[in-house]
Amino acid sequence: MKAGMMTLFTKRAIQDILGNRFLNMVTVITIALSILIVSSFTLFFINAMDVMDVWKKGIRIMAYLKPEPDRKNIADIRHTIQSIDGVQEAVFISKAEALNLLKAQMHRQASLFENLKENPLPDAFEVRIIAASQRSEEVELLAARIESLPEIEEVEYGQSWVGKFTNIINLFRLAGYAIGVLFFMAAVFIVANTIRIVLYSRREEIEIMRLVGAADGFIQTPFYIEGLILGALGGIIGIGALFLIFLLISANVQQSPAAGMFQLRFLSIKSTGGILAGSMFAGWLGCFLSLKQFLRS
């Protein structure tokens, strides 16, 4: 298509938008709200996954050994545990070390330990897991295999709730996809409706254009450009509003005690571009549906 024609079509699309200001404003706001909601979900997931990554780095299994007065096979047990797939490292913590650690952690309640006649804690291995095996089902399997060793009495993986939390996040992710699809459809239908109203208000003009020899492309292209502009404006406003909300939230998070644990981040350029492209596509699709119906009639 010639550049001159594109200029003409774009000019006509802008004239149309300005000529139906209220209608187009409502459309842009609806698209912007849809984009705001969908991109809020995306932003939440990105940051939730970051937090999960931080937490996952702490996932470890404690394997408590059976009581044995004269333990000599520590190196063998360590070797057995380390040879299990998914285990990164097994560090032995003797019952004496464990008690010292406990005392250090509970130094304010030191009196509790004064009357101990013997160390009640078992010898243990702290088992660290390789990153690829940190999914909750795999941690569970790994724990079961370690527990099945004859020297092991009990295993504990205190942060197994991370796995459960991951499942909840995944559930939210699915809900996010569903909501994304719903809002995408809402954006498509609102654009389709706007374009349909404009088409009907200009049906006489369109009929005249056809009679004087205008091809369908000549009639349709300004409407497609209009849909793309509405989608782009809605997308930019939606993402802009999300950015403002993000700035407010991140300013509050920075002042909270959890500030050091993780850094909130905004959508990447790629994600922002993807959302904007999706928004423009919704505008285009809305136009396509209306024009198809209108020109068929």
Partner 1 sequence: MDAVDKNPIIRLFHVHKRYGPKNALIDTTLDIFKNEFLCISGPSGAGKTTILKLLYLGEPVSEGQVLVDGMNLSRIPPKRFHLLRRKFGIIFQDYKLIATKTVFENVALVLEAMGKKRGLIRKKVRSVLRTVGMEERHNSLPPSLSGGEQQRIAIARAVVGDPLIILADEPTGNLDDVSAEVIFNLLKGFHARGGTIIVATHDKDLIRKAGGRTVYLRQGRVENITNA
Closest CB to partner 1 among residues 69, 213? 213
Closest CB to partner 1 among residues 68, 207? 207
- DSSP alpha helices (H): ranges in 57-132? 74-82, 95-105, 111-114
CB-side neighbour CA atoms (13 Å) of 213: 0
∠ CA 277-280-285 to the nearest 5 degrees? 120
If you count them, how many residues does the chain have? 297
Closest CB to partner 1 among residues 215, 249? 215
Helix (H) or strand (E) holding 126: strand 124-129
- C-alpha–C-alpha distance, residues 171 and 173, integer Å: 5
Closest CB to partner 1 among residues 2, 117? 2
Nearest approach in angstroms of CB 295 to partner 1 is 9
Name which position in 57, 216, 259, 261 contacts partner 1 (CB under 8 A): 216
Closest CB to partner 1 among residues 75, 211? 211
Site string for partner 1, 154-193 (x = CB under 8 A): ----------------------------------------
Nearest approach in angstroms of CB 263 to partner 1 is 54
Closest CB to partner 1 among residues 76, 205? 205
Nearest approach in angstroms of CB 6 to partner 1 is 11
CA distances from 263 to 46, 161, 168, 225 (A): 11, 22, 21, 39
Strands (E), 6-71: 60-65
Residues in 186-215 at the binding interface with partner 1, rule: CB under 8 A: 204-205, 208-215
Closest CB to partner 1 among residues 6, 245? 6
Nearest approach in angstroms of CB 56 to partner 1 is 58
- C-alpha–C-alpha distance, residues 232 and 238, integer Å: 10
Nearest approach in angstroms of CB 24 to partner 1 is 17
Nearest approach in angstroms of CB 215 to partner 1 is 4
**Is the four-CA dihedral 289, 294, 296, 297 of positive or negative sign?**
positive
Beta bridge partners of 61: 127
- C-alpha–C-alpha distance, residues 193 and 23, integer Å: 10
Beta bridge partners of 240: none
Closest CB to partner 1 among residues 71, 202? 202
Nearest approach in angstroms of CB 219 to partner 1 is 9
- Cβ-contact 162, 56 below 8 angstroms: yes
Nearest approach in angstroms of CB 2 to partner 1 is 7
The amino acid that residue 293 corresponds to is: Q
Q: Is 3 in the site for partner 1 (CB under 8 A)?
A: no
Chain positions contacting partner 1, by CB under 8 A: 2, 4-5, 8, 204-205, 208-216, 218
